Amino acid sequence: MPLSEDEQRILRQIEHELAQDPSFSERGVRVSRRRLVMLGFGMAAGLVLTVAGLAVSFWLAFVGFICVLSMAVLLEAEIRVIGREKLGNLPINAWLAGAGRQRRPE
């Protein structure tokens, strides 16, 4: 369903106001590349601990599994923030134009 002219005017006004706000871009959440790498290494280390722990003790393998699970959840949350930042950089007009193109039959 396309937007009415009044809705399009409101969206343009919001875009213009956000473009004029100098502190808007600074308020975003930044993701540290170092944190992503450390979470990746932590996940790999937990996986190694899980596999090696199976040869030693069930409890050691269980601790490794819990480590892998917690690192994966934290890594997923960081990647989700990156995805929101990338999508947030697109102007609303790009979203609307992209949605309209996908619905048209070829």
The structure's pTM equals 0.54
pLDDT-derived band at 92, boundaries 50, 70, 90:
low
Average pLDDT (64-74) is 93
Average pLDDT (21-35) is 68
Provide the pLDDT for residue 17.
79
Average pLDDT (24-36) is 70
**67 exposed, middle or buried (CB, 10 Å; 0-12, 13-18, 19+)?**
middle
Query: 65 near 46, Cβ under 8 Å?
Result: yes
Query: 71 near 43, Cβ under 8 Å?
Result: yes
Which residues lie closer than 8 Å to 52 by C-beta, 6 or more apart?
60, 64
Which residues lie closer than 8 Å to 11 by C-beta, 6 or more apart?
3, 92
